[in-house]
Chains A and B, each alone.
Chain A
Amino acid sequence: MQNKIIHWFKYGSPQSFYPLAGKMLPWFVTLAVIFGSAGLWLGFFVAPTDAVQGEGYRIIFVHVAASWMSMFLYLVMAFWAGLGLALNTRLSSMMASAVAPTGALMAFISLWTGALWGKPMWGTWWVWDARLTSELILLFLYLGFLALQAAIDEPRRADKAGAILALVGVVNVPIIYFSVTWWNTLHQGASVSLTKSPSMAVTMLWGMLLMALCFWMYSIAMTLMRVRVIILERERTSEWVKHAVA
């Protein structure tokens, strides 16, 4: 029994996490493809037409999944950045840097699909309401984090500066989420939340959840892929990287 215990903390070192990430990567890619095809099939061929918005509502299957992930990934990024700042663990900061570009992509997709949805339904591409504005700030926080890290040459200092920005920006995430209940906005309230039963047809809901799972798996896969590159880049002077690359 004793020798069956896995020493989880050993994966906190970049050297042992590098091969583990490589092993996990294809699984998450596969899951993303499976959930994505199931979600899109359900969303485009099975889910019924909406009574008010007709076929146009189907952009929800991309829009909501991207918006959820953009907020969730920011929390993940801030968590790793904070952990790196507090404990000085190298891998934590690398994870934060690896999450950021995918988070920025999700925020961008959320805003863009939102604009495409807003024009035919609301009658405008953009309006400065609290939900839309705070999501735009989220995109800028991601871009600011990336720019700040890119501007500082020394990785450890870049990690620290980025971590402080990431942690300060965390305040924005609950503001995005609750903006539609705290202030009057053009954006409608949540259709799906933890506190009440969802206000949408069951097949629509399943399509949306499957797409959210797809985006989740995709984000993990991209993060693992990116963190492997960051590990190699930052540890390039070490013996094990020289062996791995050779």
Chain B
Amino acid sequence: MKARHKRIAIIVGGLASLSIAAFFVLNALNSNIALFFTPTQVYAGEAPKDRVFRIGGMVRDGSLQRNSMTVHFVVTDTAKDIPVAYTGILPDLFKEGKGVVAQGKLGPDGQFIATEVLAKHDANYMPPEAKHAIDQAQAERMEKTLTRMVAKPTPVP
């Protein structure tokens, strides 16, 4: 084996073992790398009890209530809900039905007292007209499903 081939083998072998090591480390740190816990994870008891942590999900439609300086809303991952109370300024992109990440503590009554609320937006970029068209199409689809359900009610088991 030439010296050159040996060096190549060492480099390739080194990179391979390094990748495996990195894989195990990242796997072990998995829950620490994640920025937030979903409501389902919080219900499952995965979130820290007496420490500040972040929850993330969608702001449930129709859940936003303003009460002088404090806002109340519900963070949902469609499976579980967590009510949140926050006093402060919300980011511009904060909206019902959109993504949110809140930092704070879980109170004894199951309400999350947030100290910071961040908006999480999606990776779609489009002009307002396109967004309007998509929203309308969705609304129409919804309406059709509703009329079908009313016309032919699904049998109750």
Contact = CB atoms under 8 A, between A and B. Distances in A.
Contact of B8 (A51, A60, A86, A124): A86
Contacts of A171: 18-19, 22
B119 A121 contact: yes
A155 interface: no
Interface in B46-96: 56, 90-94
Contact of B26 (A48, A175, A200): A175
B127 A167 contact: no
Given A123-B119, A127-B118, A185-B35, A170 B15 contact: yes
A112 interface: no
Most chain A beta carbons < 10 A, residue from B7, B19, B120: B120
Contacts of A16: none
A57 B124 CA distance: 11
B3 to A, nearest CB: 9
Interface residues of B, number: 40
B125 A60 contact: yes
A185 B122 CA distance: 12
Contacts of B14: 167
Given A183-B34, A201-B130, A188 B11 contact: no
A30 interface: no
B33 A51 contact: no
Contacts of B131: 51-52
B123 interface: yes
Nearest to A56: B92
Given A128-B35, A188-B120, A122 B91 contact: yes
B41 to A, nearest CB: 10
B131 to A, nearest CB: 4
Most chain A beta carbons < 10 A, residue from B8, B90, B132: B8
Interface of A: 48-53, 57, 60, 82, 85-88, 120-124, 127-130, 167-168, 170-171, 175, 182-186, 188-191, 199-201, 204
Interface of B: 4, 7-8, 11, 14-15, 18-19, 22, 26, 30, 33-36, 38, 56, 90-94, 101, 116-132
